[in-house]
Amino acid sequence: MSTALIVIDMQESFRLSPSWAQVSNPAIVADVATLVDAAREAGHQVIWVLHAAPGSGSAFDPARGAVRLLDGLTVAPGEPVLTKTSRNAFTTTSLGQLLTSARVSRVVIAGIQTEQCCETTARVAADLGYEVDFVTEATATFPIVRPDTGEVLGVDQVIERTEFALAGRFARIVRLADAFVLPEVA
Q: Are 31 and 138 in contact (CB under 8 A)?
A: yes
Q: Residue 186: inside a domain, yes or no?
A: no
Instruction: Name the domain count of the chain.
Output: 1
Whichever domain contains 10, its CATH number is 3.40.50.850
Phi-psi region of 129 (alpha: psi -120 to 50; beta: other; left: phi over 0): left
Q: Residue 48: inside a domain, yes or no?
A: yes
Strand 144-145 relative to strand 152-153, pairing: antiparallel
Q: Residue 80: inside a domain, yes or no?
A: yes
Percent of the chain with pLDDT over 70: 97
Interatomic CA distance for residues 147 and 152, integer angstroms: 9
- Tell whether the model's pLDDT for residue 180 goes beyond 90: no
Interatomic CA distance for residues 47 and 75, integer angstroms: 9
- Tell whether the model's pLDDT for residue 14 goes beyond 60: yes
Number of H helices, E strands in the chain: 4, 8
According to the model, what pLDDT value does residue 181 have? 75
List pLDDT tens digits, range 131-168.
Answer: 999 999 999 999 999 999 999 999 999 999 999 999 99
Q: Residue 183: inside a domain, yes or no?
A: no
Q: Residue 99: inside a domain, yes or no?
A: yes
Q: Residue 79: inside a domain, yes or no?
A: yes
Q: What is the mean pLDDT of the chain?
A: 95
According to the model, what pLDDT value does residue 184 have? 58
Interatomic CA distance for residues 49 and 52, integer angstroms: 10
Structural domain for 95, as ranges: 2-178
- Tell whether the model's pLDDT for residue 112 goes beyond 60: yes
